[in-house]
Amino acid sequence: MSEGVLRVVPGPGRDTSGNTADEPLLRDLVGAALRRARLRQGRTLRDVADQAQVSLPYLSEIERGRKEPSSEVLAAVCRALGVRLVDLVGALHTDLTSATTVTVSVTTRWGRPRSGTGRRDGQAMVALLAA
């Protein structure tokens, strides 16, 4: 990219690295994905907790993102739901990337916008979805 400079521009609530305090926690994403899988199957918390051999209150807290399950508990709940871990991780990836955007600014070395941007201030704002 010899003719331009690409740099991250902070958006609302973001720092210069593109990070935000509002990014979801992994335990929230895991809990939501497990709850969706359970509800899609029309199963109760009690049924899944019994089959996974975890307490009902603990599974409830996992689904609500209040507790972060160990890998053993996560594997047991996935087995009880008939969900492969790779499918759960894939759903987490989809959830995370759909909620994450990065804003960048492109400026030519002469301080003018790249052709076709239509901006007069020398910067083109581009929203990129994380893939």
Residue 107 has pLDDT above 60, yes or no: no
Q: Which one-letter DSSP state was computed for residue 20?
A: B
Q: What is the pLDDT of residues 62-80, one digit of tens each?
A: 999 999 999 999 999 999 9
**1 pLDDT tier (thresholds 50, 70, 90):** very low
How many whole angstroms separate alpha carbon 43 and alpha carbon 123? 52
CATH code, residues 26-98: 1.10.260.40
* Residue range(s) occupied by CATH 1.10.260.40 in the chain: 26-98
**128 pLDDT tier (thresholds 50, 70, 90):** very low
Would you say 87 and 93 are in contact if contact means Cβ atoms under 8 Å apart?
no
For residues 31-56, give the mean pLDDT. Answer: 97
Q: What is the pLDDT of residues 3-32, one digit of tens each?
A: 555 555 455 444 555 555 577 899 999 999
Quote the pLDDT of residue 94: 87
**96 pLDDT tier (thresholds 50, 70, 90):** confident
Higher pLDDT, 113 or 38: 38
Closest CA to 99 of 1, 22, 6, 17: 22
Quote the pLDDT of residue 87: 93
Taking residue 54's Cβ as centre, other Cβ atoms within 10 Å add up to 18
